[in-house]
Structure 1
Amino acid sequence: MIDPAILEPLADDAWPARERKRLGGWRLNASSGYSMRINACWPLAAPDRDVEAAIDAVEAWYAARGLPPRFKLTDGVLAPADLAGQLAARGYREGKDTLVMVGATDGEGDPLVRLSFSADETFETVFTASAGDPEDGRERIEALGRMPPPACFARLDVDGAPAAIGVAALGGGFAGVFGMRTVPAHRRKGLARRVLLTLLSEARRQGVERAWLQVEADNAPAIALYAAEGFQPAYCYRYWSR
């Protein structure tokens, strides 16, 4: 389907952390400590030093920022193959799987879904409210502001109030779908599907033919929605933390 060694760098660049550092093929990301993707080390290729020394450097880098060290290990990425065992020996344990799905930018857009190329205040309000913790929401809004152009923001209103949102980051020949949120009172009404198809349609209009997204592997309703629109599982990743 797709080599994760190709897609993972695109995913890292599409949702940039506040601070970023490289240790050879290891990408270190740090923000405020909430969203795991931008607060973890992504080992995507060999580090620039011995693996044990690289783990030491990662732990020191996060400690200097008051953050716990965390590693994002991706199926099919050997960086190195025995990294999980070395982390386990240090007291790290793996968390639940996140599934990466890929599909085509097919489907018709919905004229009632509003599109823009930046996140307006209303979009940010829905996005922040869905985070639960205000600091978590603030970190995610800041990440939205760092997304490299072009990015497309979608919002669907019901009775004059925002009900569902989503965003697509375009880059590397793919559209990365992020931030799919539906206000609780409007769930199970097909609004997320309308937002998704509008984002995919806009990506197609801009010449992008393929899309990817990330969804927790136990989120059966979301996976069913994406599968119904032609998305297929590509690979999984999981975070290792102490």
Structure 2
Amino acid sequence: MLRRQDVGHRVVIRRIVGVRNGRPLYSDALGELVSVDETNLTVATKNGTIVVPLSEVHRAKRVPPQRRPTAADVVALELAADAAWPAPTRAKLGDWLLRSADGWTGRANSALPIGDPDRPLEAAIDAIEAWYAERGQPALVNTPLPLAAPVGAALDERGWTARPLTLLQTAPLVPLITGDEPGVSLAKAPGDDWLEIAQARKKTLPAAARHVLAGPPEVRFASVYAGDALIAIGRGAVVGDDRRWLHLGLIEVVPEHRRRGLARKVTAALAGWAAELGASDAFLQVEERNAAAVALYGTMGFTTHHSYLTREQPVSGARPDAAC
């Protein structure tokens, strides 16, 4: 039977759909698992999203992806993600990136080990630890999988811990666009009330956070109001040399207004803006354990391109909040 750690992966489910002459009739569903709960499996298939009651499941298992992304694909998308969420303090270790943003979010405060660090692996990890120690921060390393598996193995030897698995998901842009989205406004800079919701989501909002949020050349901040109250936000950044990618982040709806389709409206508005700039695809990051968000994005057409683990040096002290 499938479990929550299978969310985001390609699966096949054989379900019982009836009985004929005393024998069960079966039907197979192939697609990406978007959620698992006590009663149902939700799967995004090529014909749409279906919900399969556990009582109908005869057999279910994970299957290989249709096509594993190439190393070049993973590197290109990781660099796009870096451009979309730019840390104000940066350094290079050969091809590797070192990033710091006053501890605001894991993504902006972690090393990205892609390419050649221009030194032996153990020496590269020593340099990462020293760089973050100089800044009074715990060292973090984002390890895209399976590309950075050797780095992960070396960190295991040092006793580094891992935060929950994060899925980097992609979707074609055009299906996200539903036309004009009344009630969604897009601004080049976030207002104070927008930042208040972001701060509530991320717990803190240091000066470096504003650099991360407003750093990309092409960025928009989406807002939805009910009267004078801001009830939903989102941030979009168009990145890549060819402006291919729309990065979606901080899609947040205040609790009392959830389940009204506001996240979809915000996403559609940002997608429409990005398409005008020539973008063709969207991407986002979501923790695998966030079943509700994974399920929502699955219904929008997002599938997992690759995953990554944020590895953390085992030292005491405060740590940046989760990357998402």
Q: Give the alignment's TM-score, normalised by structure 2.
A: 0.70
Q: Partners in 1 of 2:217 and 2:88 — Cα distance?
A: 17
Q: Which has the higher helix share?
A: 1
Q: Partners in 2 of 1:194 and 1:41 — Cα distance?
A: 34
1:42-64 residue CA offsets vs partner (Å, 9 max, x unmatched): 10112111111111111111000
- Whether the 8 Å contact between 2:101 and 2:209 is mirrored in structure 1 is no
Q: Partners in 2 of 1:76 and 1:87 — Cα distance?
A: 14
Mapping 1:63-74, distance limit 5 Å: 63-74=133-144
3-state SS of 2:125 partner: helix
- Whether the 8 Å contact between 1:4 and 1:76 is mirrored in structure 2 is no
3-state SS of 1:62 partner: helix
- Whether the 8 Å contact between 1:116 and 1:154 is mirrored in structure 2 is yes
Q: Partners in 1 of 2:120 and 2:236 — Cα distance?
A: 37
Per the alignment, residue 37 of structure 1 pairs with 107
Q: Partners in 1 of 2:109 and 2:119 — Cα distance?
A: 22
Q: How many residues align?
A: 236
Equivalent position to 2:173, from 97, 105, 109: 105
Per the alignment, residue 18 of structure 2 pairs with none
Name the structure, 1 or 2, with higher relative contact order (CA <8 Å, separation 6+). 1
| Shift >2 Å, 4+ stretches | 136-142
Q: Partners in 1 of 2:269 and 2:275 — Cα distance?
A: 10
- Whether the 8 Å contact between 1:23 and 1:48 is mirrored in structure 2 is yes
Question: Aligned-pair distance for 1:125?
Answer: 2.1
Equivalent position to 2:94, from 24, 46, 49: 24
RMSD after superposition? 1.5
Q: Give the alignment's TM-score, normalised by structure 1.
A: 0.92
Q: Which has the higher strand share?
A: 2
Q: Partners in 2 of 1:41 and 1:52 — Cα distance?
A: 14
Equivalent position to 2:224, from 141, 144, 156: 156
Larger radius of gyration: 2
Q: Which amino acid aligns with 2:153?
A: G
Mapping 1:5-24, distance limit 5 Å: 5-24=75-94
List alignment gaps of at least 5 residues for structure 1: none
Q: Partners in 2 of 1:239 and 1:82 — Cα distance?
A: 14
List alignment gaps of at least 5 residues for structure 2: 1-66, 315-324
